[in-house]
Structure 1
């Protein structure tokens, strides 16, 4: 019985040894397979990134800012003669032309004064004619030695006095006629009535404000330019204007005036431009978004997909070999799908232009060079 019980144990020992040996031989094979899989996974995780070299191109250098539109001329219409207002022929918003009658002030009394001055002139002219005839007659008698010199001198003096009276009467008539004419108040400009300050029947003193007229052809644009761009400001410089009231429309004009000095508080220079307004779309008082075209300069541009903006900071990723490095830059103008890198990029460097949201500083990538367009 004891021998029979020991035989199964003897048979199990070689089997255990065989299993143990098989397990030891398979362990290195599994480790090698795992390492190979990890290497393949790591190779697959290297991100493929498109990179491109910057494009050198001439760009239009512009400066943007804000300004306001003003009327070319703003005229306060007043009266030269005091009196009661008879008629107001225009109102707020009306278009007016040069020479158009705007307001009439009472004129009856002045018409009578004109008639009296005209009568006085006619009387003076009649006296002048009589004095002239008397002078000529006495002069002839003097030459015939029929009258003494005193008589000749008296006739000559009477003629000169008559002439002076006529000249004085002519001026008095012209003055009263001018006063009468001044009761008709006409427009000195082409434009619009901005405000009306009087009504028929009101008594107005000399120089009272009756109307305000504005000329809106063209308009004036006034805008400050930063001190750093003052060197570009020249008369004739193109300027583009947009207003919130007319979205999508752009108006062009030229710089016409430049202030003599820079404002100490804002460190800016006030300039003025004329903006044509043939269709009366623009109006005085509009707030304007201004773009001043300062000239053209060479610049480096990259696709906009290569610029990363966060918290007001512009960054790009420079690809050197298989490594990308984050770099802060200064962006400039945009032209279509390209953006200028004004500072922080060399012409021979390569910039990542894809998968920027998956890149990190110092990251290893698989760069694929493409042509920037």
Structure 2
């Protein structure tokens, strides 16, 4: 009896549990239905709102795209370099540097003494060569004196021979002595010239023991110290000429035909914000590099006040003359998010039409359009933030981009 009663109770519990589970599932289904109905209602409301907006007429201001005289401006960048930079090498290797007279940052003039080498040995060689030259010159003078004496003896013997006072043998003997004296003088003269050459060579070598500045400029670097031995492959100092600077740039094949020597350049550097330095295109490569399709140019910059320094990074503008171009107000341009592309809205038949465009240079408050528009297209300059392709518009104000080109 007890066992049967327990089984009845378990059965009743299971039925109750199933009943509760069913109620929970039914409740969840009701919630899902209500959520779905609310979502549909909201979506329908948004559609109705969009439909209402699409019928809205948006007031806009427009400007006419026109051909305008634009200054052709070529913008470049480059590193400023000295007009000349020289590594000063010693001409003699293996000698000890006795004294260095300059430090990094010093200004030197052409011909200033930079350093000297120990010269004890070369001075001794110079003294020896000077003595050798003196001895050679003394020997030449002795030879000249002997020759002069023999000339007189030869003349006297020839006269005696004509008078049959001396024999032919005596005449031949004096002639031989005279010829020997002539050759002795020649040899003494050659020895003098040799001694002079040796002395001159040593004097030239001695001058190389003093190192001078080959150009004027600033000492950009010093590579050796006093007491070091010289190495012809290793410079003593580097001199940088900073009173005139240059920028080496590359221009594209497209811009190359518009360049010519003498074009003025405007240069700016980060070290002097807002200040414009003037330069001139001084060198233009006569050929295009087939690998890069570019040509090299040099812009020279006077720098008498030494404000600019080599190593600075520069922004350059070259003005290449005016040209006609289609332009619109810059404020009419809209940038596509996440891209570098631009678009505008033009107005046609009271509707806004989205046009993708390609831009060129900007000048003042107008921008060149290289593709996507035609002359006299009406571009929206105000109110475009409320527009979409096909929106109805009403023109409130009308203007033009720049002045029409003649």
Q: TM (normalized to structure 1)?
A: 0.79
**Is residue 2:134 matched to residue 1:122?**
yes
Query: Are residues 55 and 132 of structure 1, via their aligned partners in 2, closer, same or farther at CA, if it must alter by over 3 Å?
Result: farther
1:147-296 equivalence runs, <5 A: 148-251=174-277, 252-258=279-285, 260-262=287-289, 264=291, 266-296=292-322
Q: Cα deviations across residues 163-213 of structure 1 (Å, max 9, x unaligned)?
A: 212211211111111121111101001111121121112222455421122
Aligned to 2:340: 312
TM superposition shift of 1:249: 2.6
Query: Are residues 350 and 268 of structure 1, via their aligned partners in 2, closer, same or farther at CA, if it must alter by over 3 Å?
Result: same
Query: Are residues 280 and 171 of structure 1, via their aligned partners in 2, closer, same or farther at CA, if it must alter by over 3 Å?
Result: same
**Is residue 2:309 matched to residue 1:297?**
no
Aligned to 1:356: 384
* SS of residue in 1 equivalent to 2:354: strand
Unaligned runs of 5+ in 2: 1-51, 160-170
Aligned to 2:79: 68
Aligned to 2:398: 369
Q: TM (normalized to structure 2)?
A: 0.73
2:375 is aligned, of 325, 347, 365, to 347
* SS of residue in 2 equivalent to 1:139: helix
C-alpha distance in 2 between matches for 1:227 and 1:302? 27
TM superposition shift of 1:295: 3.7
TM superposition shift of 1:267: 4.5
C-alpha distance in 1 between matches for 2:286 and 2:80? 17
Query: Are residues 126 and 350 of structure 1, via their aligned partners in 2, closer, same or farther at CA, if it must alter by over 3 Å?
Result: same
* SS of residue in 1 equivalent to 2:243: coil
* SS of residue in 1 equivalent to 2:306: coil
* SS of residue in 1 equivalent to 2:304: coil
Q: Cα deviations across residues 89-131 of structure 1 (Å, max 9, x unaligned)?
A: 1111111110011111112222222222222222222222332
* SS of residue in 1 equivalent to 2:254: helix
Query: Are residues 257 and 281 of structure 1, via their aligned partners in 2, closer, same or farther at CA, if it must alter by over 3 Å?
Result: same
C-alpha distance in 2 between matches for 1:205 and 1:331? 58
Check the 8 A contact 1:193/1:212 in 2, yes or no.
Answer: yes
TM superposition shift of 1:334: 1.9
TM superposition shift of 1:342: 2.6
**Is residue 2:102 matched to residue 1:90?**
yes
Unaligned runs of 5+ in 1: 1-40
Aligned to 2:24: none
Query: Are residues 208 and 143 of structure 1, via their aligned partners in 2, closer, same or farther at CA, if it must alter by over 3 Å?
Result: farther
Query: Are residues 203 and 118 of structure 1, via their aligned partners in 2, closer, same or farther at CA, if it must alter by over 3 Å?
Result: same
Query: Are residues 316 and 208 of structure 1, via their aligned partners in 2, closer, same or farther at CA, if it must alter by over 3 Å?
Result: closer
C-alpha distance in 1 between matches for 2:130 and 2:205? 14
Q: Cα deviations across residues 327-360 of structure 1 (Å, max 9, x unaligned)?
A: 1222222222222223333223222222221222
Q: What is the count of residue pairs matched by the alignment?
A: 331
Q: Cα deviations across residues 33-54 of structure 1 (Å, max 9, x unaligned)?
A: xxxxxxxx99x95333222223
Check the 8 A contact 1:253/1:276 in 2, yes or no.
Answer: no
